Structure 1
Amino acid sequence: MADEVADGFVRVRLDLSYDGKDFSGWAKQPSGRRTVQGEIEAALRTVTRSPTNFDLTVAGRTDAGVHARGQVAHVDLPREVWAEHEEKLLRRLAGRLPHDVRVWKAARAPEGFNARFSAIWRRYQYRVTDHPGGVDPLIRSHVLWHDWELDVEKMNTAAALLVGEHDFAAYCKKREGATTIRTLQELWWERGADGVVTGTVRADAFCHNMVRSLVGALLYVGDGHRDVEWPAKVLAARVRDSAVHVVKAHGLTLEEVAYPADELLAARAVEARNVRTLPGSAAGGGESGDGCC
């Protein structure tokens, strides 16, 4: 299994952040497009002077344009490579990586750690402004402009009806063999002193387009185009609804990934791979740890 580190290797946890504006998402692509994974793996290969690539496993595979402040990944390095580079790895990576991606911490991971499957939740935030003048130019790459005034109280009323374990098929881009059952632990909105409205979304995992679809539905409630019960009705239908707008990626940031106590890491990784079903539903394929936005 992926949680078993091969003999002679050390599993290293990397804590990192990036501005997603100029990336085609996290995952490497055969097209050769610029990705976060590709940049970090290339930098690792260079600073360790390795003839081979060291593959990264990430907590949440973000889409093109999505940012991350608290992303987590792991990489398995030969023991002798880690011993040689451990103390100076961060500084060397800082000198090799482009300025829109940073690794803030590199430490030997505890036994059983898997950046993707050991995670117990991921927390995203989506930022939007309804100011009639548009978005502050200094934050335009991280905040969506919504050209209608938003009622945050109505958005929170609608959001509360979506929290819990549900089949989020209506808000996800279906992937063959993957379940769309998720546990949405937190979903709420707050308007800051600067007028920016921030949505906080936390779940054990997310399926493809889930966060941006939920945001799109709640913006329709906030601007009065839909009533507060509409997002929950869409959810209950369990069918992808063309009326749900997937908002642009640049307003979304992965803020934090949480893990259990060290002694529970391996058990959590096994649990996350289990197929989940709702009472009275047929079993669906796929693991629960496939994070996306």
Structure 2
Amino acid sequence: MRLRIDLAYDGTDFHGWATQPALRTVQGELEAALETVVRAPERPAVVVAGRTDAGVHARGQVVHVDLDDDLVARSAGRGVDDPVPALARRLNGVLPPDVRVHRTRVAPEGFDARFSALWRRYAYRVADRAGVVDPLTRRHVLSWGQPVDETAMNAAAATLVGEQDFAAFCKKRPGATTIRTLLELSWTRRDDGVLVGTVVADAFCHNMVRALVGCLLTVGEGRRPATWAHEVLVGGRRDPAVQVVHPHGLVLEEVGYPDDAELALRAEQTRKVRTRG
């Protein structure tokens, strides 16, 4: 059976999501826990909605895994009517405290955690005033040394929304496209003074969110005009003036999927390499 697993993690002490030899990763911890709980003959391989970098956190991460029905049934023990929801409790019993499984369920037909996704929503949190910096939130809120103007940042952000080639904001990988559809990029200030950037796109390339945030913080400080962000975008190459901000302020908050009947079609469409126009 294919299972959908919803989970959260504090990325501080991880070397990112993806398994790496001799390094602690979220994928490595989750797959090891699955292997232990279901007593699989070999370690199960999970597929993730969004591979987060070292230090990035998640509240709404989604993965899928294919497991033998009998293994799942046996893992729950006797007297359990539905072994699939019980798997979440069993996993949390062996996972470290910086990873929590929220829910396990049978995935609908055609579901692929990565390719069926319509969008991913990230939040980036910034404390840009001395009175706002809270040492208790230092692991997930960036302390920024200068006050910034969110109105200017929103004006710059508006010029980046839509289907664009984000090569100027991405660490390019061989054979991979940098064309993405940015659905939302906006900034709001909470009542406690923390600035929250919301970034929603169909997908992200490597370092894209952190580079976008760095660019907009430069605008917010007044060191560049609001038009600069779009100038960087159309330049089509990495601008050394764009700072890639620290990862710890970034949280994957949610992944959105279509209705069950459209999951397989969405996955098929996503697998196609996109070009502009």
TM bucket normalised to smaller: over 0.9
One-letter amino acid of the structure 1 residue matched with residue 218 of structure 2:
Y
Counterpart residue identity of residue 7, structure 2: L
2: CA distance between counterparts of 1:205 and 1:219? Answer: 22
* Contact 2:171 2:205 survives alignment (8 Å): yes
SS at match of 2:212: helix
Which of 6, 11, 34 aligns to 1:15? It is 6
What corresponds to 2:24 in structure 1?
34
Please name the residue that 1:209 is paired with.
207
Length-normalised TM-score, structure 1: 0.90
Give the structure 2 partner of residue 76 of structure 1: 66
How far is the alpha carbon of 1:95 from its aligned partner? 1.0
Report the equivalent of 1:170.
168
Spell out the pairing of 1:155-194 with structure 2 (5 A cutoff).
155-194=153-192
Structure 1 residue ranges, 4+ long, deviating more than 3 angstroms after superposition: none
Partners of 1:33 and 1:81 in 2: how far apart?
Answer: 28
Task: Give the secondary structure class of the aligned counterpart of 2:239.
Answer: coil
Per the alignment, in what secondary structure is the counterpart of residue 225 of structure 1? coil
Contact 2:61–2:253 (CA<8 Å) still a contact in 1?
yes
Q: Distance in 1 between matches of 2:212 and 2:57?
A: 18
Counterpart-to-counterpart distance in 2, 1:215 and 1:228: 13
Alignment gaps of 5+ in structure 1 = 1-9, 280-293
Question: What residue number does 1:287 align with?
Answer: none
The C-alpha deviation readout for 1:248-271, integer Å capped at 9, x for no partner, is 000000000000000100000010
Select the residue among 93, 112, 115 that pairs with 1:114: 112
Contact 2:39 2:71 in 1 (8 A): no
C-alpha distance in structure 2 between counterparts of 1:262 and 1:134, whole Å: 43
The CA RMSD measured in Å over matched residues stands at: 0.9
Q: Which moved more, 1:205-214 or 1:48-57?
A: 48-57
What is the DSSP-based 3-state SS (H/G/I as helix, E as strand, rest coil) of the residue aligned with 2:65? strand
* Alpha-carbon distance, 1:133 to partner: 4.9
Q: Deviations over 1:17-74 (max 9, x none)?
A: 00000000000002x1100000011111111122310000000000000000000000
Alignment partner of 2:125 out of 117, 124, 127: 127
Aligned letter for 1:60? G
- The match for 2:80 is none
Report the CA distance between 1:190 and its aligned residue: 0.3
Structure-1 separation of matches of 2:71 and 2:245: 43
Q: How many residues align?
A: 269
Amino acid at match of 1:37: Q
Distance 1:40 1:21 in 2: 16
Structure 2 unmatched ranges of 5 or more: 77-82
CA displacement at 1:83 relative to structure 2 = 2.5
Which amino acid letter does the alignment assign opposite residue 216 of structure 1? G
Is contact 2:132–2:192 with CA below 8 Å preserved after alignment?
no
Counterpart secondary structure, 2:67: strand
- Identical pairs, percent: 62
Q: What amino acid does structure 2 have at the position aligned with 1:43?
A: A
Q: Is the partner of 1:83 in helix, strand or coil?
A: helix
1:247 aligns with 2:241: no
Q: Distance in 2 between matches of 1:238 and 1:273?
A: 24
Q: How does the TM-score come out when normalised to structure 2?
A: 0.95
